[in-house]
A and B are shown apart, each in its own frame.
Chain A
Amino acid sequence: MPSNTWELAGRELTSRLLLGSGGISTASTFAECITATGTQVVTVSMRRSGAAVVSGLLPTIQASGVHVLPNTAGCRTAREAVLTAQLAREAIQTDWVKLEVIADDRTLLPDCVELLDAAEQLIKDGFRVLPYTTDDLVVARRLAELGCSAVMPLGSPIGTGLGIRNPHAIELICGEVDVPVVLDAGIGTASDAALAMELGCSAVLLATSVTRAEQPALMAAAMRDAVAAGHGARRAGRIPKSTLARASSPFVGMVGQ
């Protein structure tokens, strides 16, 4: 497999940027963002019919040819999340689910107890589960052991744009689990996405940093470049950090020696 490809839930991908449709204003803007990022995976939420779907969104997504990843956003319990995932599978005809079980509306932080319960049920039901989780290594390891297809730790809470608050925790997860790690939530700007890749993530999932940027398509292109740069830097192998200077010019042959 060429080094720029990777596998997510049985699907070989070349793009390492997963794009959420949350926060979009128009379908045409989102289409521009899909093109600019080069993404191959787009997330959607599942809501009651008659909810305020952005006009033309679903035909736009279908026409783009991307793989659709439904989420269980807003679910508070494993029971709600499992039913939502089953409905999404029926509606979209995919066995992929971005599993979200949140604890409260103020922080939108994952409820890891319910998350593990839902993940176990869905995997037994044949789903390929991509769980949105905290940056806790132990939880990530448990999710991977259950059979999740990836783990998707947050950099910071959803929609905050605070970036990666605990880079050490993300790097630790990347080194300790044997499924792809996708940095999910908290990315505010391009350097956050680059950092995620430098820490060893296989990909990033972002939405509002693009969809709510002043110029979404321009930010989408910046994110594409940042992901590529971060991934390239990770593969290249950065120099070790040092507390003291290390001269790059030779000390021999100086004037006056």
Chain B
Amino acid sequence: MTHTYRLNGDARTWQPGITLRQTLTTEGMEGTWFAVALNGAVVPASQWDATAVPPDSELEIIQPCQGG
């Protein structure tokens, strides 16, 4: 059975053992000025390497945009 997770609302195929860092690299998210929430909780950048993305997770990647 293929598992998925959702990134900014879109389904992605889940791979066993995938970390948050690997996910961000795959999505082309590098550098600064963005942040990540996993299942509704902020994950600091210092923990991206050590944080596994469980199947069926909800991942949000947020960055600044014009506004206010």
Q: For the complex, is B62 an interface residue (Cβ under 8 Å from A)?
A: yes
Cα separation A57 to B61 with both chains bound (whole Å): 18
Contact segment of A47-55, A138-146, A228-236: A47-55
Q: For the complex, is B66 an interface residue (Cβ under 8 Å from A)?
A: yes
Inter-chain contact B42/A21, CB cutoff 8 Å: no
Inter-chain contact B33/A43, CB cutoff 8 Å: no
Inter-chain contact B67/A44, CB cutoff 8 Å: yes
Residue of A nearest to B43 (CB): A90
Shortest C-beta distance, B43 to chain A (Å), equals 8
Shortest C-beta distance, A182 to chain B (Å), equals 12
Residue of B nearest to A73 (CB): B67
Cα separation A46 to B35 with both chains bound (whole Å): 10
User: What secondary structure prevails in chain A residues at the interface with B?
Assistant: mixed
Q: Which residues of B contact A86 (CB under 8 A)?
A: 37, 42
Total A-B residue pairs with C-beta atoms closer than 8 Å? 102
Residue of A nearest to B40 (CB): A83
Cα separation A139 to B65 with both chains bound (whole Å): 29
| Chain B positions 18 through 61: 1 when the CB is less than 8 Å from some CB of chain A, otherwise 0 | 00000000010100111111001010110000000000000011
Inter-chain contact A23/B33, CB cutoff 8 Å: no
Say whether, besides A49-B27, A90-B35, A90-B45, A43 and B67 are in contact (CB < 8 Å): yes
Q: For the complex, is B64 an interface residue (Cβ under 8 Å from A)?
A: yes
Q: Which B positions have Cβ atoms within 8 angstroms of A?
A: 8-9, 27, 29, 32-37, 40, 42, 44-45, 60-68
Known pairs A44-B67, A57-B65, A91-B35 / 6 extra A-B pairs, C-beta < 8 Å:
A24-B66, A43-B67, A45-B68, A87-B35, A90-B42, A90-B45
